[in-house]
Amino acid sequence: MAPLRTALYQGPAGVPDTPSVTLAALAGAARRAADEGARLLLTNELYLTGYALGATVLERAEHADGPGAEAVAAIAAEHGLAIGYGYPERERDAVFNALQLFGPDGARLANYRKTHLFGAFETTYFTPGDEPVVQADLDGLRLGLLICYDVEFPEPVRAHALAGTELLLAPTALMRPYEIVPQTIVPARAWESQLYIAYANRSGTEGEFTFAGMSCVAAPDGTVRARAGAGEELVIADVDPGCLRASRAENTYLNDRRPELYTTLV
């Protein structure tokens, strides 16, 4: 199976006045990614609206099949690549911090709601999701979906590995001074659970938040295959199933587990 060329779009900075701003930027990023042969483009957490929304998130949230979703699906189909994007999802009276994935034909592949909420903004305005493992298939590769703070817990990542996830998508809005997450924790999660992690962060400053950038693709062999700087950037890396098989054969963490000893964890 051929490698899956994966692009991470770290941008644009700031809170847009309307989703049309981020959709236009997304269309440009999709065009560049497709020109580079990418089959998957991942944006950051709450990409469609910006992160520092406060109470306005309640007004800007939309349904999973809302106008933003229709526009992203059209961009995916136009450029022939899958797109995962963060957005505030409304369902009845609840709002979720969500990640939606459309395939290269514009069909919806998956929708995930963040299960581990971070900080006062998120815990005040969002309802936590309750489905820990959401997956989809793309070009023969099993993708898994998490968001930001989720990946800082070993349990959700390990749950994905045990469920067969090979590439974990993790859009994020990581602020300074927590650069240890993309520098150390994300590569460690990829190593200990033997999967790839695509970690797409925001950049710049929004309100009280200054984001760390440093989006990356971490591989199961402990290497980082691509890394962004601090500003707006499109980074591209190949997710190689052959490397994944070789790494799992050499590093047998998943096979050597003894779950009967870990019952106190739950």
Q: What is the pLDDT of residue 256?
A: 97
Residue 105 CB neighbours (<10 A): 11
pLDDT of residue 74: 98
On whether the pTM is more than 0.85, the answer is yes
The three-point CA angle 25-200-195 to 5° equals 140
The catalytic position among 45, 62, 89, 206 is 45
Q: Domains in the chain and their CATH numbers?
A: 4-265 (3.60.110.10)
Instruction: Identify whether 179 is a catalytic site residue.
Output: no
Active-site pick, 62, 89, 122, 148: 148
Q: Which residue is catalytic, options 62, 89, 114, 122?
A: 114
Per-residue pLDDT of the chain (266 residues; tens, 9 = 90+): 899 999 999 998 877 778 889 999 999 999 999 999 999 999 999 999 999 999 999 999 999 999 999 999 999 999 999 999 999 999 999 999 999 999 999 999 999 999 999 999 999 999 999 999 999 999 999 999 999 999 999 999 999 999 999 999 999 999 999 999 999 999 999 999 999 999 999 999 999 999 999 999 999 999 999 999 999 999 999 999 999 999 999 999 999 999 999 999 87
Q: Does 45 participate in catalysis according to the annotation?
A: yes
CA distance 150 to 76: 26
Amino acid identity of residue 89, one-letter, is E
148 is catalytic: yes
